[in-house]
Every structure is written in structure tokens, then in C-alpha cells.
């Protein structure tokens, strides 16, 4: 996939070196994939999911910019979100690729390519490929998501007959 102009600019400004190791970020998102799929199946402790996130975060989507804190309310919102995904027909999410761009020695942007398998109401399968840019930091020796920039998932769900 071609590198976007914003990534070329960030790479030029921040340099080529990745301070947070790409292999560590890839491993993190493979663990994220497992927890996500467990959540879709209704088999996850939301504390495990919450542990993937920093104490505060920013979410950027076409619907707007939201800031929040990682706590009981965040976990409830995420739990409800997974229940909605399950009701809509979400089956599995696969992390296909992760590219990493350094921000500084403890932060990076991780461009994650996801592939989601869904089942429509008529039982026909559909796969939706999409990307999310995650802001990732190393905090207390662990990687944590402190933000994400995503496209219009609701429009994609409608386009593919899931809503």
C-alpha cells in the first residue's frame, strides 16, 4: 500500500528511526486482535481490554474528536460496543499488517490494516478491510494506545448491508 503524503511528512520531520520497536508494536496488535476477538465472542474481561489503553486517550473519527479516560465508563462503553458489533454480525477481526512511525523515543503512530469478517442478517458473509491509525506510547514498560484515528465505520457497515 502506498505511503500517504502525511506519513511522508511525519517521516521527514521525525526521521527514519523507530524508537519503539516495530516488532513490539506488531506483537502488541496481535495481542489486541486476540482480546478484540474474545470480546466479540463475549469472552473477555474488560479489564484486560482496558489494560491495552493509556489512562487518557483521544478518538478522532468523521463524527468528531472525543477525549476520555480509561476507567469504568470507558470499559462499559467498549463492552456495549462489542455487544453491538456482535449483534450486527461481527465474527472475527484479523490484524493483517502494522507499520510504525516514530513520534519520539516513547511514542509512535501505528498504521494497522484490519480485516473484519461479518455475517449479514441473510447469513451471507462479508469481509471489510480497513485501516486505523493508533497513537501508541510506552508507559511503565508496556505499550498502550493513547489515541486512534479511524474512518467512518458506520458508512462502511451500511455500504456492506450490515446496518
CATH of the domain at 88: 3.10.450.50
Q: Which domain holds residue 34?
A: 5-159
Closest CA to 148 of 129, 135, 137, 139: 135
Tens digit of pLDDT at every position of the chain (163 positions): 455 555 454 444 444 444 788 999 999 999 999 999 999 998 988 999 999 999 999 999 999 999 999 999 999 999 999 999 999 999 999 999 999 999 999 999 999 999 999 999 999 999 999 999 999 999 988 999 999 999 999 999 999 999 9
Domain count, the chain: 1
Sheet holding 53-61, edge to edge: 64-69, 53-61, 142-150, 125-139, 107-119, 90-104
pTM: 0.85
Amino acid at each position: 500500500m502506498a505511503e500517504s503524503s502525511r506519513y511522508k511528512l511525519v517521516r521527514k520531520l521525525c526521521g527514519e528511526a523507530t524508537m519503539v520497536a516495530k516488532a513490539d508494536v506488531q506483537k502488541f496488535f496481535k495481542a489486541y486482535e486476540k482480546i478484540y476477538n474474545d470480546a466479540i465472542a463475549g469472552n473477555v474481561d474488560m479489564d484486560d481490554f482496558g489494560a491495552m489503553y493509556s489512562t487518557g486517550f483521544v478518538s478522532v473519527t468523521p463524527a468528531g474528536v472525543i477525549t476520555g479516560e480509561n476507567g469504568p465508563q470507558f470499559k462499559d462503553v467498549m463492552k456495549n460496543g462489542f455487544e453491538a458489533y456482535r449483534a450486527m454480525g461481527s465474527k472475527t477481526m484479523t490484524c493483517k499488517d502494522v507499520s510504525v512511525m516514530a513520534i519520539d523515543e516513547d511514542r509512535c503512530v501505528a498504521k494497522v490494516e484490519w480485516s473484519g469478517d461479518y455475517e449479514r442478517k441473510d447469513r451471507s458473509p462479508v469481509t471489510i478491510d480497513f485501516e486505523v491509525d493508533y497513537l501508541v506510547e510506552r508507559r511503565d514498560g508496556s505499550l498502550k494506545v493513547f489515541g486512534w484515528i479511524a474512518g467512518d465505520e458506520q458508512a462502511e457497515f451500511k455500504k456492506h448491508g450490515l446496518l
